[in-house]
């Protein structure tokens, strides 16, 4: 589903060059739930951003669902991202002056769906994360775990085949973190391919496979 071949990422800023990823080869199969661990600065976010087509590698190839992405224009990349990928972040990234349901509808605004269809899809996504009783609330009226559930609903509202999660439980206590992981497991059982960055061994153990990074290199 996500294939990285000999991927290298170098950040160049004036005089400094940082090799953030060094010859990465990863094949995430359809339906897998993979976690990525490693110390701070080892390249986890860079790797997730490249998998999510938010950043481009300096060298190497990426395939998403069998398509080589380097021949895509920016516009078709944005389209691919919107159709196939859902993102979840450590700090939720909700819009504070939009209600829960309006936050969840955001990814659908780029599609041609009607406002009625958008509302129905958003309600369905909120039901999946157990928050249909909070649709009219605003983010500041929710606990951390509830905010992350809204963010998950937003990530899945367009029914993406791939979910990329960057430390989704990093800001939550262990009870809420466990709840969030259970939701991700349910989505995975429903067919979603998931890649999750985590610092938490217990969370990584609940996934199918762990990829470890150290200083930009895969270690086994
Ligand atoms: P992690 O997510 O594992 O903490 P990152 O992927 O954020 O690691 O960063 C990997 C390395 O690349 C680090 O050494 C970091 O300082 C460097 N880096 C990340 N983003 C940039 C950037 N935009 N410009 C320059 N260096 C960067
Ligand atoms: P937790 O114990 O999970 O941290 P809180 O004590 O923050 O949760 O909130 C308990 C419940 O009350 C939550 O379900 C939340 O949706 C609701 N709630 C919290 N603050 C507000 C508020 N200002 N307005 C409306 N509902 C709120």
Domain architecture of the chain: domains with CATH = 2-93+160-219 (3.40.50.300)
Distance 15 CA to ligand 2 centre (A): 49
Is the separation of the CB atoms in 83 and 28 below 8 Å? no
Can you give the pLDDT at residue 171? Answer: 92
CA dihedral 52, 54, 59, 60 (to 10 degrees): 20
Backbone region of residue 55 per phi and psi (left: phi > 0; alpha: psi in -120 to 50; beta: other values): beta
Distance CA 202, CA 216 (A): 23
Q: What interface predicted TM-score (ipTM) does this complex get?
A: 0.68
Query: Residue 114: CB within 6 Å of ligand 2?
Result: no
Can you give the pLDDT at residue 70? Answer: 87
Residue with tokens 């990863």: 26
Atom of ligand 2 nearest to the CA of 140: 23
Q: What is the pLDDT of residues 5-25, one digit of tens each?
A: 999 999 998 889 999 999 999
Report helix, strand and coil shares of the chain as percent, to nearest 5: 40, 30, 30
Query: Residue 143: CB within 6 Å of ligand 2?
Result: yes
Distance CA 144, CA 156 (A): 19
- Where is average pLDDT lowest: 61-70, 106-115, 180-189? 106-115
Task: Please name the residues in contact with 46: beta carbons below 8 A apart, sequence gap of 6 or more.
Answer: 9, 20, 21, 55
Query: Residue 133: CB within 6 Å of ligand 2?
Result: no
Q: Using the predicted structure, report yes or no on whether residue 151 has a pLDDT greater than 80.
A: yes
- For residue 132, how far is the Cα from the chain centroid? 22
Ligand nearest to the CA of 216: 1
- For residue 31, how far is the Cα from the chain centroid? 15
Can you give the pLDDT at residue 14? Answer: 87
Query: Residue 43: CB within 6 Å of ligand 1?
Result: yes
């Amino acid at each position: 589903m996500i294939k990285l071949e000999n991927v290298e990422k170098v950040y160049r800023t004036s005089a400094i060059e940082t090799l953030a990823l060094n010859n990465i080869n990863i094949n995430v199969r359809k339906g897998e739930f993979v976690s990525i661990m490693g110390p701070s600065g080892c390249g986890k976010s860079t790797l997730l951003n490249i998998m999510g087509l938010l950043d481009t590698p300096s060298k190497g190839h990426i395939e998403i669902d069998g398509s080589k992405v380097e021949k895509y224009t920016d516009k078709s990349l944005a389209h691919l991202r919107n159709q196939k990928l859902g993102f979840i972040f450590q700090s939720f990234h909700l819009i504070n002056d939009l209600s829960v349901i309006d936050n969840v509808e955001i990814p659908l605004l780029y599609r041609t769906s009607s406002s009625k269809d958008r509302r129905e899809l958003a309600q369905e996504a909120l039901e999946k994360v157990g928050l249909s009783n909070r649709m009219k609330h605003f983010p500041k009226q929710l606990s951390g775990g509830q905010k992350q559930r809204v963010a998950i609903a937003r990530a899945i509202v367009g029914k993406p085949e791939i979910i990329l999660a960057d430390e989704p439980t990093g800001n939550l206590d262990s009870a809420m973190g466990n709840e969030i992981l259970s939701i991700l497991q349910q989505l995975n059982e429903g067919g979603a391919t998931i890649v999750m960055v985590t610092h938490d061994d217990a969370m990584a153990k609940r996934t199918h496979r762990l990829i470890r990074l150290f200083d930009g290199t895969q270690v086994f």
